[in-house]
Chains A and B, each alone.
Chain A
Amino acid sequence: MINSKYFFQGFKSIKGLDSPALALGASFIAIGALLKNIGFNLGQSIFSTFLTYALPGSLVMAESFLIGASLINIFLAVWLVNIRLYPMTVSLMPLLLHKSQPRWKYYLSCHFIAVSAWLIMKSNYQSIEKKHRIDFWIGIGTGTWSVAIVSTIIGFLASDYLNKDMMIGLAIVNPVYFTCMMVGAMKSLQISLSIILGAILGPAFFFISPEWSILYGGVSAGTIAYYVGEFK
């Protein structure tokens, strides 16, 4: 059903010097501690990471829950912050689609689409034959997702011992890791421009609309970069 050779090859991406485990671990330890502080029990915290597995969405959930937002407002806020997953999926899945593979693999494994797994897959897919890419991807996804779940448990249990300095230190690890990964991904003009313009326009649009800034900034930056790359 799933080719174990490729699955484990993907799973092993959580080891090694470019492993996302540290960054993911740091952020989900912070999430575990945060969920405990807002009143979730251990089971609920695990359930949350298990089912959502997207950091900004979990943060928005925690904030909205604290201020007692309605379910529909939570839905809209989370949907908006996680809508980036749509272009991420569309720019990943066509690389993994293969006629011989059953569709359920794609619909189940899209749950693993999150920045860390996505960046690893994007930088490694060319080394895997197309037919086996989905199994490789399921391996990466299972590996990173497991790290997130285990870290949520650690954060929940350790929350009493984490002081403010440690929490601030943990919070920077994730943006730093992703910034380095993005710098590493700048291999063509189009992608480099997309990343640089996105990093400028995202915060710039924050002054116009904080909720929509990522989407507005990202779509305009990506579109400019696309045209510059196509017609230069």
Chain B
Amino acid sequence: MSDISNNIILVILVTSFATYLSRFLGVVSSEKIDETSKIFKWFNCIAYSVLAALIARMVVFPAGELAESAIFIRLFVVVVSVVMFLFTKRNLVYPTVASAIMLAILNNYLSI
């Protein structure tokens, strides 16, 4: 195996270890936490808010391909998709498919 592919394997192993670590420590802590306790409720709030923070960041300050679209277009697409979700009895297929098409089209015709 060449140095580069050895290096790629190491990068993957380091990434997966860094990821598994939080999951593993979470299970260790869970053994002592009762689902009716206050600390469980607090962690539950934090889990939802950390996810919301992550998702909001993906839309407002994206990395990669999304960064090449304008923020007002991204926000518009997200809002329209959520409205679509609420008006289709919480169907997730329509808003997700529509969002990809909307963004691709708007990004072509509205960007300078």
Q: Which residues from chain A sit less than 8 Å from chain B, CB to CB?
A: 17-20, 22-23, 26, 30, 34, 39-41, 44, 47-48, 51-54, 56-61, 63-65, 71, 74-76, 78-79, 82-95, 97, 106-107, 110-111, 113, 115, 118, 164-185, 190-191, 193-203, 205-206, 210, 213-215, 217-219, 221-223, 225-226, 229-230
Contacts and interface: CB of A to CB of B under 8 A. Distances in A.
B110 interface: no
Nearest to B62: A171
B67 to A, nearest CB: 9
Interface string B81-112: 11001100011110111011101100110000
B22 A51 contact: no
Main secondary structure of the interface of B (DSSP, over half): helix
A190 to B, nearest CB: 6
A168 B92 contact: no
A206 B64 contact: no
B64 A52 contact: no
Contacts of A75: 14-15, 17-18
A84 B41 contact: no
Given A57-B18, A172-B100, A217-B49, A180 B92 contact: yes
A179 B55 contact: yes
B33 A90 contact: yes
A22 B97 CA distance: 8
Contacts of A51: 12-13, 15-16
Contacts of B40: 90-91, 94
A184 B90 contact: yes
A197 B51 CA distance: 11
Given A22-B92, A176-B82, 6 more contacts: A26-B100, A84-B47, A168-B103, A183-B86, A222-B46, A223-B45
Contacts of B38: 230
B77 to A, nearest CB: 6
Contacts of B66: 168, 171-172
Interface string B39-73: 01111111111111111111111111110110000
